[in-house]
């Protein structure tokens, strides 16, 4: 098991990153956690108000594409480990601006690898570079089969191509320089603090406001959904216990066609909002399918279950109801995000520090 003193977590103001930061700050008071984030539209420090004053937590506003700034940070901070989540993460945005995805997801990752390699100087005992990736690097499945850790990469969108490229660089730094690198590839996450451009929070917000709920194509695409806190727990387990150079798939064994998921969400929302059964489903609106839309993803996470004893903790229906409750109880968070006000939180909170 790896033991460290100081961890750099990148992208900690985003959806999954904020859950990872919260888990590490709360569960490991003996670790110093530095959260580095550029605060793009997807970064929201209000995701972390519950832990922002803890003594083992600090925030640094920085851009991972700035190699010099990243080098300087490594020189001054004595990091033992990196958990790298910072990324451009929305497939639709990658279709309209692929270059931004190359810059952050590929160049940004290589900048971090270079800085860690230069600082650790070839001595990787109790050092670790953990790269968080996606199942989308494996491409699309037909009706049968699942992605395993040995499935060949076959990315289709600029997003998945940039993540695949970054995974290859991380593996190359392990194979070429002996760096202690670990990668996990996870299926679709859902849960609290998810930016409402993604399917589930967008649908919750639109149903709540009686706005059309857009569904791509005929809603036939299948995704394997995992509760975000189960992903954060998997990262914790893999970070501490995996071998250098290892890869793990993380998934929920929980496949849903988009349209079935949206219908389930509509029925949960009818109940929570006291609407008549079937009322929310009237908002479903089919829209032109996304270009290159992968039909089906499904993750085989047997290796993680057998080797490191990790299993998802929540059934989907329970997790989805819990998620709806969170969005309905945190209207201020949703209003701040949809109005854009969340972007002034950094100035309000940190400008005097
Ligand atoms: N969301 C999913 O379902 C899912 C599934 C599997 C893997 N992943 C991976 O997990 C990671 C986190 O995903 P997410 O959904 O939380 O993403 P997100 O978009 O919610 O958060 C990304 C964070 O990275 C920050 N960031 C972006 N560019 C940056 C830069 N140049 N420098 C520093 N910070 C920058 C953003 O400000 C934001 O806080 C990503 O690497 C993604 O590929 C996501």
> Quick check: is 159 catalytic?
yes
Cβ–Cβ under 8 Å, residues 10 and 86:
yes
In the structure, which protein residues have their CB atom closer than 6 angstroms to any atom of ligand 1?
Answer: 10-11, 13-17, 37-40, 42-43, 63-65, 85-89, 104, 108, 132-134, 163, 186, 188-189, 195
Query: Is the model's pLDDT at 343 over the cut of 80?
Result: no
Query: What's the pLDDT at 111?
Result: 98
CA of 38 to the centre of ligand 1 (A): 11
- Structural domains in the chain, CATH included, are 6-191+225-253+296-314 (3.40.50.720)
Residue having the nearest C-alpha atom to atom 8 of ligand 1: 134
157-202 tens-digit pLDDT: 999 999 999 999 999 999 999 999 999 999 999 999 999 888 999 9
Residue 317 CB-half CA count within 13 A: 5
Atom of ligand 1 nearest to the CA of 63: 32
Which structure tokens are listed for 35?
Answer: 């959260």
Is this model's pTM higher than 0.85 or not?
yes
CA of 249 to the centre of ligand 1 (A): 18
Pick the catalytic residue from 124, 130, 138, 159: 159
Quickly state the pLDDT bin for 266 (edges 50, 70, 90). very high
Residue having the nearest C-alpha atom to atom 32 of ligand 1: 63
According to DSSP, the residues that pair with 132 across neighbouring strands are 184
Query: What's the pLDDT at 350?
Result: 66
**Using CA atoms, how far apart are residues 309 and 91, in angstroms rounded to an integer?**
32
């Amino acid at each position: 098991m790896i033991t460290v003193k100081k961890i750099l977590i990148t992208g900690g103001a985003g959806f999954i990153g904020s859950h990872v930061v919260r888990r590490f700050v709360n569960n490991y008071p003996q670790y110093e956690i530095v959260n580095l984030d550029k605060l793009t539209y997807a970064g929201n420090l209000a995701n972390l108000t519950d832990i922002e004053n803890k003594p083992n937590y600090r925030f640094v506003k920085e851009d991972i594409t700035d190699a010099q700034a990243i080098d300087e940070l490594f020189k001054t901070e004595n990091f033992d480990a990196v958990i790298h989540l910072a990324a451009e993460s929305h497939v639709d945005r990658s279709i309209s601006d692929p270059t931004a995805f190359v810059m952050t997801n590929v160049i940004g990752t290589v900048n971090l690898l270079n800085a860690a390699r230069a600082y650790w100087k070839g001595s990787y005992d109790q050092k670790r570079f953990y790269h968080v990736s996606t199942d989308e690097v494996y491409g699309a499945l037909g009706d049968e089969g699942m992605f395993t850790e040995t499935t060949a990469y076959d990315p289709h969108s600029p997003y998945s191509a940039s993540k695949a490229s970054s995974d290859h660089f991380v593996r190359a730094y392990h194979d070429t320089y002996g760096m202690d690198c670990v990668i996990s590839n996870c299926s679709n996450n859902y849960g609290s603090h998810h930016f409402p451009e993604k399917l589930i929070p967008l649908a919750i917000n639109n149903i709540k406001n009686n706005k059309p709920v857009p569904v791509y194509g005929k809603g036939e695409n299948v995704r394997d959904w995992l509760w975000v806190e189960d992903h954060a727990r998997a990262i914790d387990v893999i970070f501490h216990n995996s071998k250098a150079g290892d890869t793990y798939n993380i998934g929920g064994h929980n496949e849903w066609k988009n349209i079935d998921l949206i219908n389930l969400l509509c029925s949960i929302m009818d109940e929570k909002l006291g609407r008549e059964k079937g009322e929310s489903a009237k908002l479903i609106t089919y829209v032109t399918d996304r270009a290159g839309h992968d039909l089906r993803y499904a993750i085989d996470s047997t290796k993680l279950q057998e080797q490191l004893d990790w299993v998802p903790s929540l059934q989907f229906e329970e997790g989805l109801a819990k998620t709806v409750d969170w969005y309905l109880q945190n209207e201020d968070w949703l209003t701040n995000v949809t109005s854009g006000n969340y972007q002034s939180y950094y100035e309000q909170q940190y400008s005097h520090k």
